[in-house]
Amino acid sequence: MQRINQKVEKVIDGSRLKIAIVVSRFNEDITGKMLNGAVEALEKNKVKKNNIKIIWVPGSFEIPLTCQKLAMTKKYHALVALGCVIKGETDHYYFVAGESIRGIMEVMLKFNIPIGMGIITTNNLKQARERSGAKNNKGAEAASAVLEMLN
């Protein structure tokens, strides 16, 4: 039997959900667009504006600690982590991206809370723009993923 992967866009009733979004200020021209996509996805699924908390942090490396502090409050049903790490001429890219993503996974497992992983890693600014646009927005995908996990 052949399996066909289908992307199903399902709207859920998120009217009682409280979601926090942690977003990096570094590469804000990209992460700001991802944030807009995430908020749109949440609101499309009836999450109320006053139930969406947005916390800005300096960079992607600071996202896991902030997610941990939010998870410890037990105020939120899920979190969304948004950042953008663009490869440069040094290995800094690998450490920031890898450790940030690992830290998010640790928080998710330790506190049993869904976290939408929206830290994009790209080779250049063009790729980052492509992943934060209207048609392909990784912020919207990360928000949709946590809603699916809560459903």
Domains and CATH numbers, the chain: 19-150 (3.40.50.960)
Give the SS3 label for residue 137. Answer: strand
Per-residue pLDDT of the chain (151 residues), as tens digits, is: 444 443 445 677 888 999 999 999 999 999 999 999 999 999 999 999 999 999 999 999 999 999 999 999 999 999 999 999 998 777 777 788 889 999 999 999 999 999 999 999 999 999 999 999 888 999 999 999 999 999 8
92 included as an active-site residue: yes
Phi-psi region of 11 (alpha: psi -120 to 50; beta: other; left: phi over 0): beta
* Catalytic residue from among 25, 75, 92, 110: 92
Distance CA 150, CA 144 (A): 10
Going by the DSSP 8-state scheme, the letter that residue 132 receives in this structure is B
Measured CA distances, 20 to 49, 63, 68, 123 (Å): 11, 12, 12, 28
Helices in 7-137 by DSSP H: which ranges? 28-44, 63-73, 92-111, 125-130
